[in-house]
A and B are shown apart, each in its own frame.
Chain A
Amino acid sequence: MMSSNAATSDKPVWQHRTTGKQLAIWFAWLVFVAVFVACWMFISNRTEWYFVYDAPRIAADIWGRATPPRWPYLDKIWKPLWDTLNVATIGTALSLVFAVPIAFLAARNTTPSATLIRPIALLFIVTSRSINSLIWALLLVAIIGPGILAGTIAIALRSIGFVAKLLYEAIEEINLDQVEAITATGASRWQIMSYGIVPQIMPAFAGITVFRWDINIRESTVLGLVGAGGIGLQLQGSLNTLAWPQVSLILLVIFIAVVISEWISAMVRRAII
């Protein structure tokens, strides 16, 4: 990159880009900065800056109220925590039931029809992925009423897209030699699936499942905010009554639960791969 120094002065100096390209890049940056500034002005207009100037004092105030956490409240947290764990685990298990067939329908090399069924499967995946589990929960609470059932189904609906997407990508990347070898023995379609494809994607499948379970633990901690059960319900109640020592205790418990689940998931994934 410093080769231009070596060139003698009467020759043109080496440059990375042509002048036109350089200008285009500068122009792109200009547009980018302008858009960013415009967006920032929009946010700024909608902000009560008085509150923001006051923020350090308020943060210190909340910190003062929230410490120390109210430890006796732990007794009331175990049950919601157990609910949260169940919402995440059962929700993940439920999602697998739907995600696996959808993944096989969406993978280019296993789909029965690339023109008709594959796009439908992909639409299912993108719909499930685009909607946050909190929105699914909001919807399900409106439909089947508050409680952990709504939370479980919300987690399952959100996870289907995630698991199916990663799984179908894994299916598309399998080694075809093995499939061909099984086919050559005269195996049926299902036998090819179970002896040629499934063993190859099993590690990926287990890894994806545990990874999603870990994410689901984190997601299910907040589902209670919209009435879908679990520890979020306690959090909502404590926030509404401004019981900051309880809030800090709940946040601490959530933090520890998430760190533990992440650790478990990392261990399992390391054991598999």
Chain B
Amino acid sequence: MSEAVAQSGGRTWRKPPAIERPWLRYGLLVFTLIYLYFAVGSYDVNWARVAEGMERGWKFIKAFANPDFVSRRSDFIEGMTESIIMTVTSTVVGIMISIPVALGAASNLAPLPIYLFCRTIIAISRALHEIIVAILMVAIFGFGPLAGFITLSFATIGFLAKLLAEDIEAMDKSQAEAVKATGASWLQWINYAVQPQVMPRLIGLSMYRLDINFRESAVLGLVGAGGIGATLNTAFDRYEFDTAAAIIITIIAIVMILEYSSSIIRRWVQ
């Protein structure tokens, strides 16, 4: 910008473009246009069907004003309980497994073979979508909340261990060295030098993951892994939008409560 000011002999100042190099700027633009042409062209939409659906969409929006909690009450309560229980157990177990994995995946703590092993676990867990893992778990362990519990625990490892390992890698070295200088054993070193530094982040991430796990647990039922998803799926299949609206409202309410309480806990910890 200073350049523009220096040589402003008669010329007016112009906002510098977001991307400096012109070839990259125009190249990206051309690429985007070509991509959009082909991508939008690949959409094969049945507009008659969409128009027909508008009425149903309106019905669904109206259902939100008048949700039906009652007519599928037993399914509703059972599904929600199952979702919540899966969330709690899988978050706890996921955290317990994530901590050693995170220690192994921190390059400043672990030797190379352990580091690579733990990073591989994290990469696999992050690359596979929860639903895909759930399908495999249902195939192996049978229908029910156990499959959902294992799925969510596995997914928690990828998320929590990765972020925790990054936090451990960014820790203050001098504190770790000071504790080591006292002749602490490895466990004491982890407990007194590393743990206090990453604890606030661990608690924050755990609360966040609890929230994510609840949201995910709501869909695992679609593939038979327990939770409210099965009830929701049935409601949509039968076009019972008022029951579906009730379930969605409940999910939103629980997520809001979780988010609010996690923000309080995070403020309290930090």
Contacts and interface: CB of A to CB of B under 8 A. Distances in A.
Interface of A: 1-2, 35-36, 39-40, 42-44, 46-48, 51-52, 55, 58-59, 62, 82-83, 85-86, 89-90, 126-127, 129-132, 134-135, 138-139, 141-145, 147-149, 152, 195, 199, 202, 218-219, 221-222, 225-226, 235, 239, 251, 254-255, 258-259, 262
Contacts of B255: 126, 129-130
Contacts of B127: 218, 255, 258-259, 262
Given A131-B248, A147-B45, A219 B129 contact: yes
Given A47-B141, A143-B56, 12 more contacts: A36-B92, A40-B89, A42-B85, A62-B139, A85-B39, A129-B255, A131-B248, A132-B219, A134-B131, A144-B57, A145-B53, A195-B15
Interface in B63-90: 81-82, 85-86, 88-89
Contacts of B42: 82-83, 86, 148
B146 A47 contact: yes
Contacts of A218: 127, 129
A139 B236 contact: yes
B3 interface: no
A44 B226 CA distance: 13
B239 A142 contact: yes
B190 interface: no
B241 to A, nearest CB: 8
A37 B89 CA distance: 9
Contacts, number: 151
Interface of B: 15, 18, 35, 39-40, 42-46, 49-50, 52-54, 56-57, 60, 81-82, 85-86, 88-89, 92, 123, 126-129, 131-132, 135-136, 139-142, 144-146, 149, 182, 192, 215-216, 218-219, 222-223, 226, 229, 232-233, 236-237, 239, 244, 248, 251-252, 255-256, 259
Given A135-B232, A195-B15, A59 B49 contact: no
B260 to A, nearest CB: 10
A6 B42 CA distance: 77
A90 B146 CA distance: 36
Interface SS of chain A:
helix
A145 B48 CA distance: 10
A250 B45 CA distance: 25
Contacts of B18: 202
Given A134-B219, A142-B56, A145-B53, A239 B146 contact: no
A40 B88 CA distance: 10
Most A Cβ at <10 Å: residue of B44, B129, B252: B129
